[in-house]
């Protein structure tokens, strides 16, 4: 009887031990699986070892305030994709197509569907006075388009000036808490090469292709001190293009709101900055430095001679007949 009790106890403790073992093993393997998925990028991918010594020598890849400048050869697409894919992001993309500029929409959208943020959720917002003229372009999976009707103007300057206000209001009414990033892009453009998540950052500016080797005193900044866009000689980092503005929605909202308010002050004082909203954008970026800068690969001009530092053209302003497409000279 006593022997039987002992062997019972022995079996019971064996079963107990086994149970504890199973639970422990199950827990640890689950933990490893979890940890593996958290650190997943480096584990699953094989990519070339980054070098701390060798990089692009012909261009700067970081600004004096330590913002990266994105050039071909400074990022690894597969690696950067693996990081952003885990974040399940949405990128809103606004374009204005008023008056004759609706003709640019087809090429813009079709080329964006080939090269722009491929594999990510993109929501286009098209501001136009002619919703019926928005072409039907087949969009990829997780990509959508909303047309927003707004009145046009008989002055092109007015059209570009109002983009900041429209951007500000769109973010306030529809985008906050809905999307992560936003890009506002010119429509008289075309994508020719990869434009992906390497372009994302808190607040993103693009170097204007016309002025990337120009001394700062020759930048076409607004030089009249009466304008809110005024930048004195001897100041300024780069000349940024107004055709590309991007970043986290809340940061772009702050930019658009600030520029809109400055534009309002100028209007009340009957002064229009040299390059309208682009002048105000340059003023904003002088005092609120962009956290990421896109090289001229991300804003070229079809007419422009390609220099050896430009290894790829990703996005470019198409040739347009100003007299034919703009409502006024």
Report the catalytic residues. Answer: 278
Of the pair 180, 186, the CB lying nearest Mn ion is at 186
Query: Hey, what are 238's tokens?
Result: 């780069």
Of the pair 160, 316, the CB lying nearest ligand UDP is at 160
The closest alpha carbon to 161, from 293, 248, 246, 271, belongs to 271
Of the pair 196, 241, the CB lying nearest Mn ion is at 241
What is the distance between the alpha carbons of residues 211 and 207, in angstroms, rounded to a whole number? 8
Of the pair 180, 283, the CB lying nearest ligand UDP is at 283
Least separation in angstroms between CB 82 and ligand UDP: 33
Least separation in angstroms between CB 241 and Mn ion: 9
**Footprint (CB under 5 A) of Mn ion, residues 165-204:** 186, 188
Least separation in angstroms between CB 158 and ligand UDP: 9
Query: Hey, what are 290's tokens?
Result: 């962009």
Binding residues (CB under 6 A) for ligand UDP: these are 95-99, 101, 156, 159-160, 186-188, 243, 317, 326-327
Of the pair 59, 145, the CB lying nearest ligand UDP is at 145
187 binds, among ligand UDP, Mn ion, none (CB under 5 to 8 A by kind): ligand UDP
- Residue 271's SS3 state is coil
Sign of the CA dihedral with 287 first, then 292, 297, and 299 last: negative
Residue 268: HSE in the Cβ half-sphere, 13 Å Cα cutoff:
7
What is the distance between the alpha carbons of residues 171 and 173, in angstroms, rounded to a whole number? 6
DSSP element (H, E) containing 80? helix 77-85
Residue pointed to by tokens 């020719």 = 192
* Backbone phi, psi, residue 123, to 5°: -120, 110
Query: Hey, what are 107's tokens?
Result: 């090429």
160 binds, among Mn ion, ligand UDP, none (CB under 5 to 8 A by kind): ligand UDP
Within 10 A of 42 (CB to CB), how many other CB atoms are there? 10
What is the distance between the alpha carbons of residues 194 and 202, in angstroms, rounded to a whole number? 20
Contact 145, 116 (CB under 8 A): no
Least separation in angstroms between CB 178 and Mn ion: 27
Of the pair 96, 285, the CB lying nearest ligand UDP is at 96
Least separation in angstroms between CB 196 and ligand UDP: 22
Residue 203 CA: distances (Å) to CA of 162, 232, 252, 284: 20, 24, 7, 11
96 binds, among Mn ion, ligand UDP, none (CB under 5 to 8 A by kind): ligand UDP
The closest alpha carbon to 318, from 118, 136, 108, belongs to 108
170 binds, among ligand UDP, Mn ion, none (CB under 5 to 8 A by kind): none
Least separation in angstroms between CB 320 and Mn ion: 8
- Residue 248's SS3 state is strand
Q: Which residues bind Mn ion (CB under 5 A)?
A: 186, 188
């Amino acid at each position: 009887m006593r022997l039987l009790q002992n062997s019972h106890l022995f079996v019971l403790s064996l079963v107990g031990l086994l149970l504890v073992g199973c639970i422990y093993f199950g827990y640890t393997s689950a933990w490893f699986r979890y940890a593996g998925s958290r650190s997943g990028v480096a584990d699953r991918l094989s990519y070339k070892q980054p070098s701390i010594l060798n990089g692009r020598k012909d261009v700067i890849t970081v600004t004096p305030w330590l913002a990266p400048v994105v050039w071909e050869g400074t990022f690894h697409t597969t690696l950067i994709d693996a990081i952003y894919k885990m974040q399940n992001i949405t990128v809103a993309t606004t374009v204005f197509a008023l008056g004759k500029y609706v003709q640019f929409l087809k090429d813009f959208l079709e080329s964006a569907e080939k090269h722009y943020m491929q594999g990510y959720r993109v929501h286009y917002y098209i501001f136009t006075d002619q919703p019926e003229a928005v072409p039907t372009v087949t969009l990829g999976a997780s990509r959508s388009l909303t047309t927003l009707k707004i009145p046009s103007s008989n002055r092109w300057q007015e059209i570009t000036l109002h983009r900041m206000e429209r951007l500000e209001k769109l973010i306030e009414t529809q985008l906050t808490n809905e999307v992560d990033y936003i890009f506002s892009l010119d429509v008289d453009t075309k994508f020719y090469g990869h434009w992906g998540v390497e372009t994302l950052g808190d607040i993103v500016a693009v170097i204007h292709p016309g002025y990337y080797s120009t001394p700062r005193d020759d930048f076409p900044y607004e030089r009249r001190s009466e304008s809110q866009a005024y930048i004195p000689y001897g100041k300024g980092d780069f000349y940024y293009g107004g055709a590309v503005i991007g970043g986290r929605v809340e940061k772009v909202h702050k930019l658009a709101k600030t520029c809109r308010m400055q534009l309002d002050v100028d209007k009340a004082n009957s002064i229009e900055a040299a390059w309208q909203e682009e002048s105000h954008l340059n003023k904003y970026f002088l005092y609120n430095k962009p956290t990421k800068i896109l090289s001229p690969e991300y804003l070229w001009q079809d007419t422009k001679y390609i220099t050896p530092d430009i290894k790829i053209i990703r996005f470019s302003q198409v040739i347009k007949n100003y007299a034919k497409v703009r409502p006024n000279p």
